[in-house]
Structure 1
Amino acid sequence: MSRTLEHFNVLHEIPELGFKEFKTSHYIASALEAAGFDVKRNINGTTGIIAELDSGHPGPVLALRADMDALGHIINGQHIARHTCGHDGHSSVVLTAAEETIREGVVRKGKLRILFQPAEELGAGAIEMVEGGALDGVDMLLGFHLRPIEECPMGQAVAAMYYSASATVEAIFTGKAAHAARPHLGINALDAAVQAVQAVNSIHLSPSLTFSAKATRFLCDAGVTNSIPSEARVCWDLRSAENAPMTELKEKVTAALEGSAAALGANVEIAILKEMPAAIIDEDATDIIRQAIISQLGEQALLPAKATPGSEDFFHYLRLCPQIKGGFWGLGANLTPGLHHPDMHFDRDALAIGVRIFKSCIQQVLGE
């Protein structure tokens, strides 16, 4: 009997933030060891896991990847971790597919490698896994994500999801404190930050490109209302459907921030807190996923390739290891009201479908 819901119910109740997935990692690694996989824990000093099944016969190395971390939310004034991006679902699907594959003797050639990575939401987990040797010798890497209902409803799937590049930019503006009655004696960091927000809003790339740059966090408080604030912190979220325009966008944002500060005599420190590249997807890998979807759900359930402004650190794997054939697909689950929403929920029957699709992919690559 499939343990998909059993795994999901456990993982859903122990949400943990990036690089702190201690209970989650222990549960998954223990289940993989019990199934008969050769398991390595604490990859590169993190909570990451590598599990491998060697058929003992020549053949390719196929890797499946799942992310483990939850998101941080402020709910009723409290900071909590909650699975609102479906990573508990992703982990339960890949874990169950691994268990059933080894139990059913599906792998007849090559090796099956299973990756459970931390900190996808931080944009850093995939990089740590690569540095820890997770992709050494891998020929093909497959991943997936539950999709919002408006993109892909229950019973359907997308063989290729084209994610966008993203970057989070933080700027710390430093001015000079002064009494609000004597503003000429100070440098208002708040003014510099506001000017920077407007300057970034005025940035233009070619109209043929899909991109955005918008302020998403603004922190400034002198502690009193009659003092010129000396510091302001602002974050911007940058998006681009392609990798090359992201480089231009970051350059223009940096210039806008520096110019805004300089115009008022303030200083600014700029840092890129995280980056994720745009999708790099291989057609051979996509064709395997496509055939798996058709075999399990029928031709009518296969949706065309889709582009999303969302980003995924999965594509760091393929950026760092371009020789690997990568595929990334989307699974319909009637997911509402949306990813990262505090009340996100989905039809859990979709998880069993995900297991079947991954098992079909494994059969095509590593079966007889």
Structure 2
Amino acid sequence: MSKVLDHYHYLHEIPELGFQEFKTSAYIADQLEKAGLKVTRNINQTTGIVAEIDSGAPGPVLALRADMDALGHIIDGVPCARHTCGHDGHSSVVLTAAQELLAEGAVKKGRLKILFQPAEELGAGALAMVEGGALDDVEMILGFHLRPLEECVVGQATPAVRYSACSTLEATIKGAPAHAARPHLGVNALDAAVQAVNAVNAIHLSPGLNWSVKATRFLCDAGVTNSVPDEARVVWDLRSQENAPMEALKEKVTQAIQHSVAALGATAQVVVLKEMPAAEIHDDATEVIRAAISEVLGPEGLLDARSTPGSEDFFYYPVKRPNVKAGFWGLGTNLVPGLHHPDMHFDLNALEIGVNIFKSCVKKVLG
């Protein structure tokens, strides 16, 4: 009997933030070792794990990747970690697939590498794995993500999910303090920040491109209500379906912020907090996934490729290692009310489908 639900229920109860997945990583590594896989822990001095099944025969090197971290939320005023992006499901599926593939002797040629990656939500985990050498000998890498109900339902899967590029910019806006009774003696950072938000909202790229930019955090407090605040911090979320327009968008946003606050006598320092590249998916990998979905779910369960404004640090793998063929698919799970929602939940029966699709992929490449 599959262990996927046992793994899921355990991991779901120990959510940990990026690069802090100590319990999660220990559990996964222990389970892999008990199954008989060769395991390397603490990749690049992080919680990352690489496990391996070596057939002993010549052949390609295929990697499966799962992310492990939970999201940070503030719920009822209390900061907490919660698995609201399904990474506990991803880890459970890939862990179970690895255990079953080894037990079945399914890897007949080449080698299978299993990557459990930290800090996807921080946009830093894939980079840490690459820098730690996890992909140095890999020829193809496959990843996946649970999909919301509106994209596909249980019993369906898409062979390619084309994620968008994402950049998070923060501006620290400096003004000058003053008594609220004499505002002309200061420079109101709050006014300047509002000006910056409006200036960014007036940016236009070509209507033929898929992109967006919006302010997502605004912090400003003089400590009292009768003083002009001298500092404000604003964060913007930028999205682009392609990588090239993202560079132009970041430049336009930075200029809009700096020029708009300068008009009021303030200054702005703009930094990139995190960014993730747009999807780069290889046709060969997609064909493997497409065939596996058809085998497991039948032609009626195979959907077309999907595009999403969401972002995934998985795509640092093909960006940093262009010789690696990357494939990324989506599993229908009836997920509601949405990814990153504090109350996100999905049909757990879909996890077994995920296990079988990954196993089919491996058998097609290494069987």
Question: TM-score higher than 0.5 here?
Answer: yes
Residue equivalent to 1:183? 183
Report the Cα distance in structure 1 between the residues aligned to 2:35 and 2:263, rounded to whole angstroms: 63
Paired residue secondary structure (2:49) = strand
Residue equivalent to 2:327? 327
Deviation digits for residues 78-108 of structure 1 (CA, Å, limit 9, x no counterpart):
0010000000000000000000000000001
Residue equivalent to 2:70? 70
- Greater mean deviation of Cα atoms: 257-266 or 19-28: 257-266
Residue equivalent to 1:166? 166
Q: Which consecutive residues of structure 1, in runs of 5 or more, have no partner in the other structure?
A: none
Report the Cα distance in structure 2 between the residues aligned to 1:319 and 1:273, rounded to whole angstroms: 19
- Is 1:209 the counterpart of 2:172? The answer is no
Residue equivalent to 1:121? 121
Paired residues, what number?
367
Residue equivalent to 2:291? 291
Report the Cα distance in structure 1 between the residues aligned to 2:359 and 2:270, rounded to whole angstroms: 45
Aligned residue type for 1:22: F
Using the TM superposition, give the Cα deviation of residue 158 of structure 1 relative to its aligned residue in structure 2, in angstroms.
Answer: 0.3
Aligned residue type for 1:216: T
Using the TM superposition, give the Cα deviation of residue 52 of structure 1 relative to its aligned residue in structure 2, in angstroms.
Answer: 0.9
Residue equivalent to 1:39? 39
Residue equivalent to 1:260? 260
Report the Cα distance in structure 2 between the residues aligned to 1:184 and 1:344, rounded to whole angstroms: 49
Report 1:81-96 matches (<5 A).
81-96=81-96
Report 1:234-253 matches (<5 A).
234-253=234-253
Residue equivalent to 1:61? 61
TM-score (norm 1): 0.99
Aligned residue type for 1:336: V
User: Runs in 1 of length 4+ with deviation above 4 angstroms?
Assistant: none
Residue equivalent to 2:300? 300
Residue equivalent to 2:269? 269
Residue equivalent to 1:219? 219
Aligned residue type for 1:131: E
Aligned residue type for 1:299: P
Residue equivalent to 1:140? 140
Using the TM superposition, give the Cα deviation of residue 286 of structure 1 relative to its aligned residue in structure 2, in angstroms.
Answer: 0.3
Residue equivalent to 2:355? 355
Using the TM superposition, give the Cα deviation of residue 35 of structure 1 relative to its aligned residue in structure 2, in angstroms.
Answer: 1.1
Paired residue secondary structure (1:152) = coil
Paired residue secondary structure (1:207) = coil
Report the Cα distance in structure 2 between the residues aligned to 1:235 and 1:112, rounded to whole angstroms: 41
Aligned residue type for 2:175: G
CA RMSD of aligned residues (A): 0.5
Aligned residue type for 2:248: E
Paired residue secondary structure (1:129) = helix
Report the Cα distance in structure 2 between the residues aligned to 1:48 and 1:260, rounded to whole angstroms: 43
Paired residue secondary structure (2:192) = helix
Report the Cα distance in structure 2 between the residues aligned to 1:272 and 1:77, rounded to whole angstroms: 27
TM-score (norm 2): 0.99
Report the Cα distance in structure 2 between the residues aligned to 1:366 and 1:214, rounded to whole angstroms: 45
Using the TM superposition, give the Cα deviation of residue 265 of structure 1 relative to its aligned residue in structure 2, in angstroms.
Answer: 1.4
Q: Which consecutive residues of structure 2, in runs of 5 or more, have no partner in the other structure?
A: none
Paired residue secondary structure (1:303) = coil
Paired residue secondary structure (1:251) = helix
Using the TM superposition, give the Cα deviation of residue 261 of structure 1 relative to its aligned residue in structure 2, in angstroms.
Answer: 2.0
Paired residue secondary structure (1:169) = strand
Report the Cα distance in structure 2 between the residues aligned to 1:152 and 1:313, rounded to whole angstroms: 22
Deviation digits for residues 253-278 of structure 1 (CA, Å, limit 9, x no counterpart):
01001101211111211110000000
Report the Cα distance in structure 1 between the residues aligned to 2:255 and 2:334, rounded to whole angstroms: 42
Aligned residue type for 1:129: M
Aligned residue type for 1:82: R
Report the Cα distance in structure 2 between the residues aligned to 1:254 and 1:78, rounded to whole angstroms: 33
Paired residue secondary structure (2:263) = helix
Report the Cα distance in structure 1 between the residues aligned to 2:77 and 2:225, rounded to whole angstroms: 24
Residue equivalent to 2:30? 30
Residue equivalent to 2:338? 338
Report the Cα distance in structure 2 between the residues aligned to 1:260 and 1:176, rounded to whole angstroms: 16
Deviation digits for residues 190-229 of structure 1 (CA, Å, limit 9, x no counterpart):
1111000000000000110010010000000111111000
